[in-house]
């Protein structure tokens, strides 16, 4: 039995000492996809909400097609390189952080819940991270 998938909300995008409010850092398109924006060298935090009954399952962040080699971090390891994940079981959400953003970080990401059988993903099913070039200061 597949339970209803969790949903996705967006937190705050941090760029060095500055933080952009979520309203400025994330846009939801007509199809419901979430677009997250960040700057090279900054950090991005994304909260992925899930339903009751998933508290005891491992959560993870993956990129692209989400095969085993695409998994970036899990709640079993909490931090892996520039990626971290924290599972707040009381709030029914896991928060993922990508630090020291680089151009190669742009792309499609999934928040997932590991289950026996078929894993479930957040709804909308993924979010896009796009890095912005800083404006030159004159």
Q: What is the pLDDT of residues 36-70, one digit of tens each?
A: 888 899 999 988 888 899 899 999 999 988 888 89
User: Residue 58: CB partners within 8 Å, gap ≥ 6?
Assistant: 74, 75, 76, 113, 114
Asked if residue 112 has pLDDT above 60, the reply is yes
Could you report the per-residue pLDDT of 99-111, keeping only the tens digit for each? 999 989 999 898 8
Q: How much is the pLDDT for 2?
A: 31
Rounded-to-integer distance, Cα 74 and Cα 57, Å: 11
pTM recorded for the entire structure: 0.71
Superfamily of domain 8-132: Immunoglobulins (2.60.40.10)
Query: What is the β-pairing status of strands 43-49 and 59-63?
Result: unpaired
* Residue 30 region by backbone torsions, left for phi larger than 0, else alpha for psi between -120 and 50, else beta: alpha
DSSP state of 25: H
Mean pLDDT of the chain, nearest integer:
74
């Amino acid at each position: 039995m597949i339970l209803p998938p969790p949903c996705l909300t967006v937190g705050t995008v941090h760029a060095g000492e500055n933080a952009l409010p979520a309203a400025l850092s994330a846009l939801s398109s007509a199809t419901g996809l979430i677009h997250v924006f960040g700057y090279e060298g900054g950090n991005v935090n994304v909260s992925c909400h899930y339903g009751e009954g998933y508290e005891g399952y491992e959560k993870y962040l993956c990129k692209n097609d989400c095969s085993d080699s695409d998994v970036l971090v899990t709640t079993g390891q909490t931090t892996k390189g520039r990626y971290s994940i924290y599972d707040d079981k009381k709030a029914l959400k896991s928060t993922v952080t990508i630090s020291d953003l680089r151009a190669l970080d742009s792309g499609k990401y999934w928040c997932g819940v590991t289950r026996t059988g078929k894993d479930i993903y957040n709804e909308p099913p993924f979010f896009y991270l796009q890095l912005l070039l800083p404006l030159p200061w004159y």
